[in-house]
């Protein structure tokens, strides 16, 4: 059911202030209208989250895992209504949204497995050494505990996998943290359907209602009030650089500053090494345009920068990519606002005196259509104007012609932090690539070879992060099992009687988790 409510703890409540969603493919206003949460709603949701914290954080691993699986099942049970509504609110095609639902549900199940396994607790026991000279060692036991209530900001570009029940929510709940979601205003109906699925899972699991609240709204004040609320202990955000930085500032100015895990901006450089370019330039050109235009380019992993050594092989690549882009269809963008920013960014590059427009995609009849754009410049010009390295969110990319591989290394070393870097590399390139990898590794969260950066695998080894401004904290990831670490805090218990210790640190290891005992891995408990 979608009726435009705020979901605060176990309740659904209508608010006086309203807003509407727009179908970006048609420009029509969608029904119903939606409650816009205010500061009172934030305070109420955060109070409930704080009240729920101790109970929820103390849930046993099996119950918490089953709760996450319950959310996944409830999302599936919504059925086609969820896909239809997400299509109407985002302009994204059915196949993409069905895939994204699978990813969302898979993520929740992955975190259920993480919880059951218990490695995230990093339980470590250094038994007392009463006879140690000159001083005895106390009994020391460390475990990761949930950080407290977490605020999650739904992203516009993944209305399911990075939104209400996306990776931030799944990892925070897995860590044992209640979550207050600020819903994204471009897909409030989708958000409400998913939020109701979580709310039902909370009730079915017999958990305190404050474990989850959903606050839709379109004002910046709502997000600001949520981050400023003293009960909130960490923030997960995926979105624009401006939006992320605003939250970082609010969090830093609190009486008690808190971490903001914001994933914000990346142009994802792709390096075409000479042998690869010579051997398969035409194929690379086609694949590049496929990745560039996928989902109207609205991926934070979009390949927005291509680097290669100037010469005839590069000319051939440019011609092939230009021709593939010229044939590419326009695609509906997520919202009129995102479309307007894309047009503005593309116009600025097209009008820049140091930039040549290689090609544009086909234009379309409808509203909010992204027409792909491919530009080129030289390394000197790219390095001379920082604006050329700023992300244009959508299907826009810049080729930088470099004199040689050291110049590519120079450009990369001067880039801001990135989520990804891609190497198109053949065996004959490997000696040169080996010199570049350490330079690239300083700037990015993920390096991939002979693939394309769009389409992030949700897996234990994944890193979807990177140095600023890719994220506000390059030590973390928002995709993959390590995402849980953002919402945990290590606590050491010194000389506490067994009855006072958390379950994970009891001598009998009743949860059967992997632990480190006196510096060594305990024999496998299962």
Ligand X SMILES: O=CCCC(=O)C(=O)O
Catalytic residues: 263, 300
CA 128 and chain centroid, separation: 42
Of 120 and 299, the one with the shorter C-beta distance to ligand X is 299
Of 299 and 374, the one with the shorter C-beta distance to ligand X is 299
Shortest separation between residue 205's beta carbon and ligand X, angstroms: 28
Shortest separation between residue 420's beta carbon and ligand X, angstroms: 9
Of 35 and 171, the one with the shorter C-beta distance to ligand X is 171
Of 332 and 454, the one with the shorter C-beta distance to ligand X is 454
Shortest separation between residue 104's beta carbon and ligand X, angstroms: 11
List the helix and strand counts (H, then E) for the chain. 14, 23
Q: Quick check: bond before 134 cis, omega within 30?
A: yes
Of 121 and 262, the one with the shorter C-beta distance to ligand X is 262
- Helical (H) or strand (E) element with 7: strand 6-8
Shortest separation between residue 479's beta carbon and ligand X, angstroms: 6
Cβ neighbors of 508 (< 8 A, separation 6 or more) are none
Pairwise CA distance, residues 34 & 12, whole Å = 12
Pairwise CA distance, residues 416 & 147, whole Å = 30
Q: Which two tokens stand for residue 286?
A: 């086609």
Shortest separation between residue 522's beta carbon and ligand X, angstroms: 36
Pairwise CA distance, residues 364 & 493, whole Å = 64
Shortest separation between residue 419's beta carbon and ligand X, angstroms: 8
Q: Which two tokens stand for residue 225?
A: 């009030």
- Closest listed residue to residue 228, CA positions, set 177, 166, 180, 169: 180
Shortest separation between residue 49's beta carbon and ligand X, angstroms: 26
Pairwise CA distance, residues 471 & 467, whole Å = 6
Cβ neighbors of 400 (< 8 A, separation 6 or more) are 305, 306, 307, 308, 376, 377, 378, 379, 382, 411
Of 157 and 293, the one with the shorter C-beta distance to ligand X is 157
Of 217 and 453, the one with the shorter C-beta distance to ligand X is 453
Residues that bind ligand X (CB under 6 A): 157-158, 299-301, 454-456
Q: Which residue is nearest to ligand X (CB)?
A: 300
Pairwise CA distance, residues 501 & 422, whole Å = 47
Of 281 and 394, the one with the shorter C-beta distance to ligand X is 394
Shortest separation between residue 168's beta carbon and ligand X, angstroms: 12
Query: Which segments within 395-471 are labelled E, that is strand?
Result: 396-402, 418-424, 444-449
Pairwise CA distance, residues 241 & 411, whole Å = 22
Query: Which segments within 116-268 are labelled E, that is strand?
Result: 124-126, 140-146, 150-153, 179-183, 212-216, 234-238, 260-263
Q: Which two tokens stand for residue 350?
A: 């097209």
Pairwise CA distance, residues 437 & 439, whole Å = 5
Burial 117-149 (b: 16+ CB within 10 A, else e): bbebbbbbbbeeeeeeeeeeeebebbbbbbbbb
């Amino acid at each position: 059911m979608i009726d435009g409510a705020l979901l605060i703890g176990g309740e659904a409540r209508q608010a006086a202030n309203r807003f509407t969603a727009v179908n970006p493919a048609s420009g029509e206003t969608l029904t119903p209208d939606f409650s816009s949460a205010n500061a009172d709603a934030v305070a109420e949701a955060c109070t409930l989250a704080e009240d729920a914290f101790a109970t929820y954080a103390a849930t046993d691993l099996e119950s918490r895992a089953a709760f996450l699986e319950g959310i996944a099942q409830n999302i599936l049970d919504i059925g086609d209504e969820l896909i239809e509504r997400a299509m109407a609110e985002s302009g994204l095609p059915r196949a993409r949204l069905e895939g994204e639902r699978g990813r969302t549900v898979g993520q929740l199940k992955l975190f259920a497995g993480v919880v059951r396994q218990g490695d995230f607790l990093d339980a470590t026991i250094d038994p007392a050494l009463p006879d140690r000279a000159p001083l005895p060692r106390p009994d020391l036991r460390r475990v990761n505990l949930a950080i407290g209530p977490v605020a999650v900001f739904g992203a516009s570009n993944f209305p399911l996998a990075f939104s209400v029940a996306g990776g931030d929510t799944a990892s925070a709940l897995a860590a044992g943290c209640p979550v207050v979601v600020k819903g994204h205003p471009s897909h409030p109906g989708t958000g409400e359907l998913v939020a109701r699925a979580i709310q039902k899972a909370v009730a079915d699991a017999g958990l305190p209602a404050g474990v989850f609240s959903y606050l839709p709204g379109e004002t910046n004040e709502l997000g600001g009030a949520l981050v400023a609320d003293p009960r909130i202990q960490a923030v997960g955000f995926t979105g624009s650089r401006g939006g992320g930085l605003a939250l970082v500032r609010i969090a830093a100015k609190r009486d008690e500053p808190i971490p903001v895990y914001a994933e914000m901006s990346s142009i994802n450089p792709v390096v075409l090494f000479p042998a690869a370019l010579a051997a398969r330039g035409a194929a690379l050109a086609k694949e590049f345009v496929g990745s560039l235009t996928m989902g109207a380019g609205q991926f934070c992993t979009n390949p927005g920068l291509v680097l290669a050594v100037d010469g005839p092989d590069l000319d051939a690549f440019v011609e092939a990519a230009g021709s593939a882009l010229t044939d590419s269809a326009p695609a509906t963008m997520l919202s009129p606002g995102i479309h307007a920013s894309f047009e503005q960014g593309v116009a600025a590059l097209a009008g820049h005196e140091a930039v040549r427009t290689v090609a544009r995609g086909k234009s379309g009849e409808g509203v909010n259509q992204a027409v792909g754009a491919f530009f080129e410049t030289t390394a000197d010009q790219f390095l001379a104007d920082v604006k050329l390295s700023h992300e244009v969110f959508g299907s826009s990319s810049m080729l930088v012609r470099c004199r040689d591989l050291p110049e590519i290394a120079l450009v990369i070393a001067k880039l801001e932090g990135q989520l990804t870097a891609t190497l198109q590399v053949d065996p004959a390139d490997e000696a040169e690539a080996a010199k570049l990898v350490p330079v690239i590794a300083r700037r990015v969260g993920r390096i991939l070879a002979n693939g394309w950066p769009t389409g992030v695998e949700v897996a234990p080894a994944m890193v979807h992060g990177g140095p600023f401004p890719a994220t506000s904290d390059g030590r973390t990831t928002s995709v993959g099992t390590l995402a849980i670490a953002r919402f945990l805090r290590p606590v050491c218990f010194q000389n506490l009687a067994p009855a006072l210790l958390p379950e994970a640190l009891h001598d009998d290891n009743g949860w059967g988790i992997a632990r480190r005992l006196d510096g060594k891995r305990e024999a496998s408990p299962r």
